Amino acid sequence: MSEVTKTYEEKMTKTLNNLREELQAVRAGRANPHVLDKIMVDYYGTPTSIQQIANVQVPEARMITITPWEPKMVRNIVKAIQVSELGINPTDDGRMVRLVFPELTEERRKQLVKDVKKLGEAAKVATRNIRRDGNEHFKKLKKSSDVSEDQIADDEDELQKLTDKAIKKIDEAVSEKTRELMTI
């Protein structure tokens, strides 16, 4: 595998890892602390993730508790969760925030599956764009004739194999999350 092909493989791997992170944030009916990853709390004027200012635990299958290290941050955490797209109303007792995840309805599950498929499709498009950029790079190399045509053909084949492998992994990640969402 050439150095150029490795560059495109790294980009495809980053795309896949990004998809996996996004899929972790999709709520599947049971408590998953990763749903809080993208929620930022106003911490003395600085947007800060909840995990950096509080202890996040999952005491039950459908509950997350958030205990801030500074009790006065409870209000800010509640406000940040309410304005987020999490769709859960937090409750607090002045010292701790509780998030109770309701059972997902069939309709909500189907909507989440659609959202997961959209994320997967976006990852596939990004992967194909990486392949396109690689092929354009190889065409430029062919014109400059710094590299043999056989080497360029080998690199193009290798890039196509990497693309196929990445798309297969994307499909696997999407189908795994879909199974998780549809399991009651």
Per-residue pLDDT of the chain (184 residues; tens, 9 = 90+): 677 788 989 999 999 999 988 888 776 667 778 878 888 998 888 998 988 999 999 888 888 899 999 988 899 999 998 888 777 888 888 889 998 887 778 888 888 899 999 999 999 999 999 999 998 988 888 887 777 788 888 888 999 999 999 999 999 999 998 888 887 6
Using a 10 angstrom Cβ sphere, with 0-12 exposed, 13-18 middle and 19 or more buried, the burial of residue 179 is: exposed
For residues 120 and 174, the answer to whether their CB atoms sit within 8 Å is yes
Name residue, tokens 């972790």: 24
Cα 1 to Cα 157: distance, rounded to the nearest angstrom: 11
Q: What is the pLDDT of residue 29?
A: 65
For residues 88 and 64, the answer to whether their CB atoms sit within 8 Å is no
For residues 53 and 68, the answer to whether their CB atoms sit within 8 Å is yes
DSSP state of 18: H
Question: What pTM does this model have?
Answer: 0.71
- Tally Cβ neighbours within 10 Å of residue 156: 17
Name residue, tokens 């940040």: 80
Helix (H) or strand (E) holding 46: strand 46-49
Sign of CA pseudo-dihedral 143, 144, 145, 146: negative
Sign of CA pseudo-dihedral 78, 79, 80, 82: positive
CATH superfamily of 3-24+105-182: Ribosome-recycling factor (1.10.132.20)
DSSP state of 49: E
The identity of residue 140, as a single letter, is K
CATH 1.20.58.190: does it fit domain 33-100? no
Query: Start-end ranges of CATH 1.10.132.20 in the chain?
Result: 3-24+105-182
Query: Start-end ranges of CATH 3.30.1360.40 in the chain?
Result: 33-100
